[in-house]
Amino acid sequence: MPGIKPLNAALGAQITDIDLNTELSAEQVQFVRDAFHEHIVLLFRGQDLDPAAQMRFTEIFGEVKGHPLKTRRTVDGFPGVLIIENQPGKPGARNDYWHSDISHSPQPPLGSILHAKVVPEGKGDTMFCNMYAAWESLSDGMRDMLDGMKAWHDGAATMARNNNEQNDGLEIREVPPPHLHPVARTHPETGRKALFVNPHFVTHFEDMTAAESRPLIDFLEKHSGRHENIYRHSWRAGDVLMWDNRAAMHYAVLDYTPEDRRLMHRTTAAGDTPY
Ligand code: OGA
Ligand code: MN
């Protein structure tokens, strides 16, 4: 059986003694699945997955689909494997804001997997925060107010990023309409409630203006991103790191320059309609 070691007290665990290149046994799959639901972020070090193997591993959790906005180049023959790359002349499209991947879609991915191929040593960390804890640590009064509220999630933020900045993001012509999702989301596997508001895609709350909503979105961002609610990952080449988009936000720290080569392969596992 694999081993498990929590990454810190906020969230995350490292799984050891497992080679994701081999076909996992039913027991191994159950171990990883249980760990994922308990710890939100899972780290596997020293892996070497080709795109087909990364797809196979991701499909244990859900179908691998391409990005609905076709934001990035993909590996030849693998439209579901996105290339997240930073290099001279072509800086990577930034992700230095708290977000949950593709939350603007009607059925956002349940989780995402990044496999680090090349990393600039000591730079380009990714932070994760625990959205169960964010929800549970709000006051009763705030939770009573937020429970039952909905928020609009809009992919226009991604279009603006790709089109207005010079980066490796592909030009986006059209964005599907925004979607309303519950502010407090029930995790379909654990049954726990998690705060599901991210400052990147959420524009406003249902039946409220953007100006009225902004102070609350800002407060929830600050509350979720408190230092003690974060695991900050320092990448090594060979890392496979997966996170639960239903119970975490993430933030890619942009403390490197285009000269610092960074290359990741990203897959996402399809999720269901938030409730
Ligand atoms: C992503 C993302 C973070 C990173 O691919 O969804 O946010 O550190 N990436 O590259
Ligand atoms: Mn992301």
CATH code of the domain covering residue 252: 3.60.130.10
Q: Is 275 inside any structural domain?
A: no
What is the structure's pLDDT at 89?
86
Q: Would you say residue 164 lies in a domain? A: yes
Taking CA atoms, 64 is separated from 22, 34, 68, 80, 110, in Å, by 19, 20, 12, 6, 11
Domain-located, residue 117: yes
As given in the structure block, the two tokens for residue 68 are: 């609905």
Which ligand is nearest the CA of 85, by number? 1
Residue 79: pLDDT band by 50, 70, 90 thresholds? Answer: very high
Going by C-alpha positions, the residue among 263, 259, 269, 271 that lies closest to residue 73 is 263
| Within-domain flag for 252 | yes
Rounded mean pLDDT, 206-225: 98
pLDDT for the residue numbered 76? 97
**Distance (Å, whole) CA 234 – CA 116:** 11
Residues that place a CB less than 5 A from ion ligand 2: 101
Reported confidence tier of residue 166, pLDDT bands at 50, 70, 90: confident
User: In the structure, which protein residues have their CB atom closer than 6 angstroms to any atom of ligand 1?
Assistant: 84, 95, 101, 112, 114, 126, 250, 252, 264, 266
- Position 165 pLDDT exceeds 90: no
Does 153 qualify as catalytic in the annotation? no
Asked if residue 46 has pLDDT above 90, the reply is yes
CA 54 – ligand 1 centroid, Å: 16
The answer as to whether 170 is a domain residue is yes
Cβ within 8 Å of residue 191, ≥6 positions away: none
Structural domain boundaries, residue 35: 3-269
Tell me the CA–centroid distance for residue 265 and ligand 1, in Å: 10
Residue 248 has pLDDT above 90, yes or no: yes
Residue 174 maps to a domain? yes
> Is 274 part of any domain?
no
> What is the number of residues in the chain?
275
Rounded Cα gap, residues 122 and 152, in angstroms: 36
* 206 lies in some domain: yes
Considering only residues 161 and 20, tell me which one the structure prediction assigns the higher pLDDT: 20
**Residue 90 banded pLDDT, cuts 50, 70, 90:** confident
Question: How many domains in the chain?
Answer: 1
User: Per residue in 125-139, pLDDT tens?
Assistant: 999 999 999 999 999
Active site residue 154: no
> What integer is the mean pLDDT of 170-192?
96
If you take atom 4 of ligand 1, which residue's CA is the nearest one?
A: 252
Can you tell me the distance from the alpha carbon of 170 to that of 250, in angstroms, rounded to the nearest whole number?
Answer: 22
pLDDT of residue 33: 98
Sign of torsion over alpha carbons 81, 112, 22, 13:
positive
Q: Is 250 a catalytic residue?
A: yes
The residues, ordered by sequence, that sit 6+ positions from 208 with a Cβ below 8 Å of its Cβ are none
Q: Ligand 2 centre and the CA of 268: distance in Å?
A: 10
